[in-house]
Structure 1
Amino acid sequence: MSRIKQTNNKNIKKKKKKSIGFKILMGFLAILIASIAIGGGYLYGLFFKLDNVKLDTKDLGISSTEEFSKYNNYKDIKNIALFGVDAEDGGAGRSDSMMIVTIDPVHNKLKVTSLMRDSYVNIDGHGMDKLNHAYAFGGPQLAIKTINENFGLNVEDFATVNFSSLPVIIDILGGLDLEINDEELQYINSYIDSLNGLEGTSAPNITYSGSQHLNGIQALAYSRIRYTAGGDYERTQRHRIVLTALFEKLSSTSTTSYPSILNSLLPHVQTNLTAGNILSLGTNVLGVGNGALVQDRFPRDGFGEGTTIDGIYYLSYDKDATIKQVRDYIFDDK
């Protein structure tokens, strides 16, 4: 019985995380679109601050054209992978948040597809493992290939944001108001001290529990606490708390501040998209602006189940059924 309850809690946690991730994504899309409107040529120059990387387009695991050809106008539908990583100490990091943003002018929709990070998938060169491990093994190249091969997609573009870059944005917005409980207070200052040493900052320690106004380093330290009784579950919950507070701050920020936010954020974004690509995509998003904004999650309920292998939790799923569902949703709007 306890195992069933634990699995249900995992599902609840993932659904909440998807909802928050969706809000954060929409917040950044709003910043992009508004900035295009008010930034003009100045904004175009900002996009050259992106960490631009090239992908080997011949090694992205994309299925043959014949498999997509039954979907009318599929070439007009654009899919972009979004990865949220928490890479500490300069490591590649696991992609704890994975979404596919679909700009669909055929059905006049903007779609967001969340992929379960614990999905039990085949990772080229590494065998069966969790989906989110692909990014740590081989960066965006292997992560996209793994998504394409295991979910039947044709993704060629990506954008990655490191959770470690959030202090920059948080400080621009003037900090966040968060609640620190007594147990968290026992651990947060060691994380603050560690981040100060790594970043060359001097964020002060927290001296009492309760409501706190935290700067960027303090908020990141809070999100990384992992030794409380709730373990990783509470750690991911703290991630959601920080992201929710950040979204609320972004929502109340004047659009005239967006270019300044982008100026600080873009150097922390890695992508294969060029400045011209991004502005073109922004125009396409505006083109479907009057259409529906929809989201889904895969594997869908009923087509996957939690399983433990060698003491590690995975989400196994019906691969053939899921590939059909993903393609029908993205390309045929079913």
Structure 2
Amino acid sequence: MRYERQVKKKKRKWKVFLLIILLLVVGAIIYSYFQYKQGVSQSLDKVDNETIVQEEYEFNGEKDRYGGTNVLLLGSDSRGEEKSRADTIMVARYHPDTGSYKLISIMRDTYVEIPGHGENRINTAFALGGPELLRETIKENFDLDIQYYAIVDFQGFVHLVDEAFPKGVRIDVEKKMSENIGVTLEPGVQYLDGEHLLGYVRFRHDAIGDFGRVERQQKVVKQIGSQLTSIQTIPKLPKLIGVVTPFINTNMDTGDMLYIGKDFLSKENRNIDSLRIPVDGSWNDPTINNASVLTIDLEENKAAIHDFLVEQKSPIE
């Protein structure tokens, strides 16, 4: 009898333990949902809903042959325009096996073959056929598969920064900047709010033009990533996704974003390796049809991309 009582007592303890775990899981889900909805509501309260355009795009992306997940990141300031070009073109890569994060920036004036439309600057592909044509263009020219896309309106960037970093993001501004960015930035280390940080990554009116702008974009992405991990932002992640949701058009679901974001934020000293296309020494800057473009060595840049993405393992057959 004593043995049976002990067995029953142990079973009750396990039931209580499982019940507590279940309640914690349900509580976490409910908390995440309400945090997410609060973030969405917070953004919608700040803007005119009519300015938020969520067009549905066809996107026939495929998984990266090296086992990674590639996301086509596009920065847009279309303000509802139907034929806007992509102001920023990046491919963000996450590899679940190695936990690595990589970022490829493709300069928007890169002169390439756009399927069905002849040669033009690569950002023209977005205006001609949305993210799908841009995906096809990147695949044809660089043999790079992309599974997802995310078009981020610049308003969303501003709101996300202000929510995640109430005191601003620490940036070393290398020179005075003001032309065509809507704000004035003085040189030196300082904390920038969303509006001023956006101005920083958009500035291009100096001797190195778009090359400096792309370098600053990658610098800001790495700095934001570093500061997110340092302040333990995981509890805020559902709300942050909610804040940016009204300003992001993507074929990723919320679960995918939470999964990738949580893995990034849960590890300290998270590094983001970066690559710029075209790579040094592989381009010229002629004027074609009265437009300044970057003609590139496609094979050299294609090889640079695949050397950058390989994770010391053979491609998946």
Q: TM-score, normalised by structure 2?
A: 0.59
Residue type at the aligned position of 1:306: N
Q: Determine whether 1:161 maps to 2:191.
A: no
Whole-angstrom CA distance in 2 between matches of 1:297 and 1:324: 13
DSSP-derived class of the 2:286 partner: strand
Q: Determine whether 1:171 maps to 2:148.
A: no
Q: Determine whether 1:257 maps to 2:249.
A: no
The equivalent of 2:110 in structure 1 is 119
Whole-angstrom CA distance in 1 between matches of 2:142 and 2:130: 18
Q: CA offset at residue 293 of structure 1? A: 6.1
The equivalent of 2:298 in structure 1 is 319
Q: CA offset at residue 123 of structure 1? A: 1.3
Structure 1 unaligned regions, length at least 5: 1-35, 63-67, 69-73, 193-205
The equivalent of 1:101 in structure 2 is 93
Residue type at the aligned position of 1:165: G
Q: Determine whether 1:144 maps to 2:129.
A: no
Whole-angstrom CA distance in 1 between matches of 2:111 and 2:256: 33
DSSP-derived class of the 2:158 partner: helix
Whole-angstrom CA distance in 2 between matches of 1:234 and 1:319: 18
Q: Which has the larger radius of gyration?
A: 2
DSSP-derived class of the 1:316 partner: strand
Q: 1:288 to 1:129 in 2, by over 3 A?
A: farther
The equivalent of 2:7 in structure 1 is none
Residue type at the aligned position of 1:110: S
Q: CA offset at residue 146 of structure 1? A: 1.1
Whole-angstrom CA distance in 2 between matches of 1:329 and 1:82: 16
Q: CA offset at residue 141 of structure 1? A: 1.4
Whole-angstrom CA distance in 2 between matches of 1:241 and 1:284: 20
Q: 1:41 to 1:233 in 2, by over 3 A?
A: same
Whole-angstrom CA distance in 2 between matches of 1:281 and 1:241: 19
Q: Determine whether 1:78 maps to 2:68.
A: yes
RMSD value, Cα: 5.0
DSSP-derived class of the 2:305 partner: helix
Partners of 1:111 and 1:330 within 8 A in 2: no
Whole-angstrom CA distance in 2 between matches of 1:329 and 1:80: 13
Structure 2 unaligned regions, length at least 5: 1-24, 41-53
The equivalent of 2:120 in structure 1 is 129
Q: 1:81 to 1:133 in 2, by over 3 A?
A: farther
Whole-angstrom CA distance in 1 between matches of 2:264 and 2:90: 20
The equivalent of 1:110 in structure 2 is 100
| 1:279-318 aligned within 5 A | 279=258, 281=260, 294-302=273-281, 304-310=282-288, 311-318=290-297
Higher RCO, 1 or 2 (CA under 8 Å, sep at least 6)?
Answer: 1
Cα deviation digits, residues 236-272 of structure 1 (max 9, x gap): 3896599479727645545243333232123222211
Per residue, is there more helix in 1 or in 2? Answer: 1
DSSP-derived class of the 2:144 partner: coil
Aligned residues: 264
Whole-angstrom CA distance in 2 between matches of 1:166 and 1:263: 12
Q: CA offset at residue 81 of structure 1? A: 2.5
Q: CA offset at residue 101 of structure 1? A: 0.7
Residue type at the aligned position of 1:131: I
The equivalent of 1:236 in structure 2 is 213
Whole-angstrom CA distance in 1 between matches of 2:264 and 2:167: 30
Percent identity for Structure 1 against Structure 2: 22
Q: 1:96 to 1:319 in 2, by over 3 A?
A: same
